[in-house]
Amino acid sequence: MKRAMWIFLLLLVVILASFLVVTQYHWVFRKDVAGEILEVERVTTSTAVVGVTIPSQSFSFAVAIRTKKDGEIMTASSEDRQWAVAKKGMCVEATVDPYPPWNLDKAGTFYNARLLKLKDCAGGQSASAPIQQAEPQVAPQPAPQSAATPGGTPAQ
């Protein structure tokens, strides 16, 4: 009887954990991204062009971020209105949710990019730009004097 109860509890835990992973996959496997914004584009569909705008589509964005860690470019879609103020070249901290592997059309891609922090990149330079070093200043040299020729006229 005691062994059957332990098996039942173990089975219950496995079922509960599986249920949480399946229903909350995007939350369980969420990724944090920190890097430079390469592009932020507002996505407009043909319905928005005609004049019939669906509210969620009017704030739909495509986001590309180059990560600081390994230079990977993460792309994601978003309906977060905060992306409207983000500009190319700014540094950002965001989270992205992966589509689950059983969603075969979108598996391996990301959505729901949430903007957490937005700032200018350190030193006013983008994270991907090489660091510019100041060139050493060289004192100007005086121009050479023209030598006079034996006839008394300057040489040309």
Q: What is the pTM of this model?
A: 0.62
Sequence-separated (6 or more) residues with CB below 8 Å from residue 118: 82, 85, 86, 90, 91, 92
Q: List, for residues 9-52, the tens digit of each pLDDT value.
A: 999 999 999 998 888 888 888 999 999 999 999 887 655 555 56
8-state DSSP, 125: S
Beta strands in the chain (DSSP E): 31-42, 61-67, 73-78, 91-98, 110-119
| Residue that is written with structure tokens 């495509």 in the block | 62
Q: List, for residues 87-132, the tens digit of each pLDDT value.
A: 999 999 999 999 999 889 998 899 999 999 999 987 655 545 544 4
CA distance 106 to 145: 75
